[in-house]
Amino acid sequence: MFREEVEAFMRQFQSDLCQALERCDGGATFSTDTWEHAEEGGGISRVIQGGNVLEKGGVNFSAVKGQLSPQFLKMLEMPDANYFATGVSVVLHPHSPMVPITHMNVRYFEGGNGQAWFGGGIDLTPIYVDLAQAQAFHEQMKAVCDRHHPSYYAEFKKWADDYFYNQHRDETRGVGGIFFDRLMATDEISIAERFAFVRDVAYAFAPFYTSIMNQNRDLPYGEREKQWQLMRRGRYVEFNLVYDRGTKFGLLTKGRIESILMSLPSLASWEYNFIPEPGSPEEKTQHYLKKEIDWLRVQ
């Protein structure tokens, strides 16, 4: 019954989030695309394009069963190939370079041997880092974490720093956030308590991000800012195709390719050996793309 309860939550969260984003954007609605998995189960891909704020965004739900490939079985260190997985994954690419890209996901995995865990997180990728907004974002993430365990924020913030990191560029994808995986039941924390935390993470997303959308949607920008946005989107693409676990999981479990690659922007660019001008807003943003920044006290 727990599996069914988690799946029902994921379905409802997808619907609630899409409604909140549509209300904020005010110019477009999500299309709905239902698909079936190659083995068992399937999902609902919901995509918004050409909105007032959102150029492209996706809110994907899936609930699938099957057998893990030997490669993925080894990666997860699982003794049994049978699995069930459900979750919601979100990536939003705004028109304006003044509105950050954002990603979040919440997911549940159950192995054939009875092991079960939650994973997920939220991170923010500003094209231009706004220190006040980055600090407010981390304060919100800490508040969610602190309601459930005093160690969560520090642990999951570091995990995000390490995970959302383009090693080949020696830079973080953005200002981080929180990331967690394989949150199982322990002697101290039940799987139901883990689920309560994941629900809070999920429903913290829309209020904060729609607030940023509204704060930044009318800020002026020009061609210089758009070109920088395209380059930063290129770095986003690099991470998603090289390091992202969700992308790897989808590909190795024969997921639907259009849903897996929903996270990619409509347009991105790669300029050879681009170096920001000294003292420019672009250089300032580049300066903050590193690990271990204390965003709660950033100057």
Where are the chain's structural domains?
2-287
CA pair distance 87, 89, nearest whole angstrom: 7
Q: Give the architecture-level CATH label for domain 2-287.
A: 3-Layer(aba) Sandwich (3.40)
CA pair distance 84, 7, nearest whole angstrom: 10
Q: How many CA atoms lie within 13 Å of 180's alpha carbon, on the beta-carbon side?
A: 26
Is residue 103 flagged as an active site residue? yes
CA pair distance 169, 145, nearest whole angstrom: 30
Mean pLDDT by 10 residues, the chain (299 residues): 94 98 98 88 95 97 86 68 92 98 96 89 97 98 98 98 96 97 95 98 98 98 98 96 84 78 92 95 97 93
Instruction: Supply the pTM of this predicted model.
Output: 0.93
N-to-C CA span, the chain: 48
Which of 223, 227, 216 lies closest to 269, judged by CA? 227
Q: Which helix (H) or strand (E) holds 278?
A: none
CA pair distance 286, 299, nearest whole angstrom: 15
Q: State the pLDDT at residue 219.
A: 98
Q: State the pLDDT at residue 38.
A: 78
Q: 93, 95, 103, 138: which one is catalytic?
A: 103
CA pair distance 56, 262, nearest whole angstrom: 9
User: Please, which residues have CB within 8 angstroms of residue 186's CB and are 6 or more apart in sequence?
Assistant: none
Other beta carbons less than 10 A from residue 191's beta carbon:
17
CA pair distance 145, 123, nearest whole angstrom: 14
Residue 3 in tokens: 């599996």
CA pair distance 10, 176, nearest whole angstrom: 24
